[in-house]
Amino acid sequence: MGQFAAELERQQLGDPKVVEAIKQMTKLHRNPLVHPEVILSTEEAIGIIGMARSAIAAMLAALPDVRIATGAPRFPNDALM
């Protein structure tokens, strides 16, 4: 994840908040966990989930709004409902 964030920075791609969220998650949580002797406490697990949620929220906020397309129903009976 750190290499991914570094490449985004190098190419000046993506929202800076998203890149920083990925970098922070990598530094604080992912890197220590790749070592087999590390045992995760409940508090640390909750922290990782919170950090992942924050990173995902930042990514979703950076996505452009997409107009909802309308069209024919997928199935013939859907038009009757």
Domain ranges of the chain: 2-62
Q: Is the pLDDT of residue 27 over 60?
A: yes
Burial class (CB in 10 A: 0-12, 13-18, 19+), 22: buried
Number of residues assigned to the chain: 81
The token pair that represents 73 in the structure block: 């129903």
Specify the range with the lowest mean pLDDT, choosing from 5-9, 21-25, 70-74, 77-81.
77-81
Contacts 24+ apart (CB under 8 A), 12-16: 14/62, 15/58, 15/59, 15/61, 15/62
Q: pLDDT of 47-78, one tens digit each? A: 888 888 988 888 888 888 877 776 666 666 65
pLDDT score for 79: 52
